[in-house]
Amino acid sequence: MAERQSQIVLGIDPDPADLWPQQPPHRQQAPADAAAAAVLAHCRALIDAAGPACVAVKPQLARFEALGEPGRAVLGAVVAHARAAGLLVIADGKRGDIDVTAGAYAASLFGGMESPFGHIDGLGADMATVNPLMGRDAIAPFLQAARAAGAGVLLLVRTSNPGAADIEDLALAGGGTVWERTAALVDELGAAGVGDEGISDVGAVVGATAPWHLDRARELMPRATFLLPGIGAQGGRVEELQAAFAPGRAGGLVSASRSIARAHLANGGSPADAARLESERLRRAAWELSAVR
Amino acid sequence: MAERQSQIVLGIDPDPADLWPQQPPHRQQAPADAAAAAVLAHCRALIDAAGPACVAVKPQLARFEALGEPGRAVLGAVVAHARAAGLLVIADGKRGDIDVTAGAYAASLFGGMESPFGHIDGLGADMATVNPLMGRDAIAPFLQAARAAGAGVLLLVRTSNPGAADIEDLALAGGGTVWERTAALVDELGAAGVGDEGISDVGAVVGATAPWHLDRARELMPRATFLLPGIGAQGGRVEELQAAFAPGRAGGLVSASRSIARAHLANGGSPADAARLESERLRRAAWELSAVR
């Protein structure tokens, strides 16, 4: 972050029906292969344009899975392109399951696994989003694999969608809400992984559309990195995220997807130029905001 | 179910380090390709042996993702093999996300999606497990895609692991627990999808390791199919599942994975023979139990 002076995370959610203009596909390709090639070209162009103002990319795993068989190879190529551009990788799959299953997901996201057939590579992500609903023993395998790979996890604490009210916001008999209990779990699990900067390897997804939650979230998770989705398309504003940066500039990762990839629709210009300008605008806004302490 | 007189779901969780004996792989293959080929051969043999006593297969998506690039093609081939054997397919991925992302997951699991490149196929699952933490608007796209494909969803309500106590079992200020609130959501969302048999297209995952929850779960979700994992390896017993079958024989899907695939370790014999016997034993136990009403 310090090197790039950026807390911006470039969300990569490619919709085959809404890609940047490019060469038409080869006619003879199957739909999934043609879509896969076009998605990869789009993602590379997006990273080339907006990457310099960002510290990480956040590929949305759903979008690659929807491509079918070629999806995982496209995802791997996007991750490789981001790494070559000096960016960290946050795999956004919101996985959650128990013991050996969680271990298989974690192997797939982080360092891969040993097998009688040799080592099978994982995605090599630096962080991955994890759904905490199933509790500690469902989170543990992700954290274990992440730590073995020098990576981290981001638990869903208070998401940016209206439905967050249905379960996450429920008030508990013992006081507080479900999301506040999850926040306490983030703090507990991260205690063993606090680095030199005072930031732990267990972070939290806290929607930027509800900035009034940020103060309380920071109180409960003083050492967690917050991944803040919801900027732009979902209505969140960088200027309201101050509490996220309380532990320092590394305390907040500001995620933006559509507001960068579709900036040309709002601001004109070529998609690449508009993405470059918007990502740089967000970078500057977050960096300046996080200095005011 | 009536046709096959079975409520047994064959869980397919292939661990590359624990496959049934088979021909050694071709030496020249990359580890991921060799593992993929061996996993596919194992899954086909398992379906051939245990499939006749089952009504569905439940592939664990994590295990296929851990294979890397070839994983999705192997999953597709396993699904095709199960279909050819007359089995339903329950995609166990426990996905959960908001709006367009949930839509992409749902397209991938059910009927695929239209794109400017042509139709991209989905997995064609009959049901898929969904994580409800993010609330109604995160569940809706799954249910919409499922209904368009004549399929259903299974929400995680009360899972079979110890960590279920951490969040799912929390007592709410308004009475009841988090999982009971989720159960009410299952009933609410399923109301519009109740079929001729009185069973809805929104079901629930309710761990078979906590049968004392089943009565209460059935009270809250009178029309839901219960997917009951945890039989065998996790300690659950078919004989304790009576409440699941209250709405009729289609009310409970009894899922078993390791207890079938590893039956030879406990009971001797070849893996295929032991799997055949154990799946048939489970089938008979559940079918007889569900008749006693």
The 3 state secondary structure assigned to B41-83 is HHHHHHHHHHHHHCCEEEEEHHHHHCCCCCHHHHHHHHHHHHH
Are A120 and B63 in contact (CB < 8 Å)? no
pLDDT, position B232: 67
pLDDT, position A228: 93
**Is the domain covering A8-291 a CATH 3.20.20.70 domain?**
yes
Percent over 90 (pLDDT), chain A: 83
Q: Which residue has the higher pLDDT, B227 or A292?
A: B227
Are B160 and B129 in contact by the 8 Å Cβ rule? The answer is: no
Whole-angstrom distance, CA of residue A124 vs CA of residue A108: 8
Are B164 and A65 in contact (CB < 8 Å)? no
pLDDT, position A27: 72
Are B167 and A133 in contact (CB < 8 Å)? yes
Whole-angstrom distance, CA of residue B57 vs CA of residue B50: 10
Q: Reply yes or no on whether the pLDDT at A196 is more than 90.
A: no
Percent over 70 (pLDDT), chain A: 97
Q: Nearest chain A residue to B120 by CA: give it.
A: A32
For range A52-79, the mean pLDDT: 98
Q: Choose, out of B19, B27, B98, B136, the residue to mutate when testing the contact with A (most A CBs < 10 Å).
A: B98
Task: Output the tens digit of pLDDT for each of chain B's 293 residues.
Answer: 999 999 999 999 999 999 999 887 777 889 999 999 999 999 999 999 999 999 999 999 999 999 999 999 999 999 999 999 999 999 999 999 998 999 999 999 999 999 999 999 999 999 999 999 999 999 999 999 999 999 999 999 999 889 999 999 999 999 999 999 999 999 999 999 999 889 999 999 998 776 778 999 999 999 999 999 877 666 667 778 888 888 888 899 999 999 999 999 999 999 999 999 999 999 999 999 888 55
User: Is residue A256 very low, low, confident or very high in pLDDT (cuts 50, 70, 90)?
Assistant: very high
Reduced to 3 states (helix: H, G, I; strand: E, B; else coil), residue A166 is coil
**How far from B141 is each of B92, B95, B195, CA to CA, in Å?**
17, 11, 20
- Domain locations along chain B: 8-291
Chain B nearest CA to A248, separation (Å): 29
A78-98 confidence digits (pLDDT tens) = 999 999 999 999 999 999 999
Strands A202-206, B252-256: pairing is unpaired
Taking the CA atoms of B138, A240, A213 and A254 in sequence, report the sign of the dihedral they define. positive
Q: Spell out the residues 6+ positions from residue A240 whose beta carbon is closer than 8 angstroms to its own.
A: A208, A211, A214
A119-174 confidence digits (pLDDT tens) = 999 999 999 999 999 999 999 999 999 999 999 999 999 998 899 999 999 999 99
Q: Nearest chain B residue to A163 by CA: give it.
A: B135
User: Is residue A112 very low, low, confident or very high in pLDDT (cuts 50, 70, 90)?
Assistant: very high
* DSSP-assigned letters across all residues of chain B: -TTTT--EEEEE---TTSPPP-PPPPTTS-HHHHHHHHHHHHHHHHHHHHGGG-SEEEEBHHHHHTT-TTHHHHHHHHHHHHHHTT-EEEEEEEE---HHHHHHHHHHHTT-B--TT--B-----SEEEE--TT-HHHHHHHHHHHHHTT-EEEEEEE-SSGGGGTTTTPBBTTSSBHHHHHHHHHHHHHGGGB-TTS-BSEEEEE-TT-GGGHHHHHHH-TTPPEEE--BSTTSB-GGG-GGGGTT-GGGEEEEESHHHHTHHHHH-S-HHHHHHHHHHHHHHHHHHHHH--
Contacts of B95 in chain A (CB under 8 A): 62, 94
Chain B nearest CA to A99, separation (Å): 9
Chain B nearest CA to A263, separation (Å): 18
Are B69 and A66 in contact (CB < 8 Å)? no
Q: Residues of B145-164 as b/e, b for ≥16 C-beta within 10 angstroms?
A: bbbebebbbbbbbbbbbebb
Q: Spell out the residues 6+ positions from residue B164 whose beta carbon is closer than 8 angstroms to its own.
A: A134, A135, B158, B179, B207, B210
pLDDT, position B208: 74
Q: Choose, out of A28, A115, A205, A234, the residue to mutate when testing the contact with B (most B CBs < 10 Å).
A: A115
Closest CA to A101 of B265, B279, B230, B196: B230
Q: Spell out the residues 6+ positions from residue A43 whose beta carbon is closer than 8 angstroms to its own.
A: A12, A14, A59, A74, A78, A81
pLDDT, position B235: 65
pLDDT, position B23: 81
Q: Which tokens in the block code for residue A81?
A: 């392109």
Chain A nearest CA to B220, separation (Å): 17
Q: Choose, out of A15, A94, A258, the residue to mutate when testing the contact with B (most B CBs < 10 Å).
A: A94
Task: Provide the ipTM.
Answer: 0.96
- List residues of A with catalytic annotation: 94
User: What average pLDDT does the structure give for chain A?
Assistant: 94
Are B94 and A99 in contact (CB < 8 Å)? no
Whole-angstrom distance, CA of residue B122 vs CA of residue B1: 25
Please identify which of the residues B58, B63, B94, B95 carries the catalytic annotation.
B94
Q: Nearest chain A residue to B16 by CA: give it.
A: A115
Closest CB to A119 among B31, B76, B160: B31
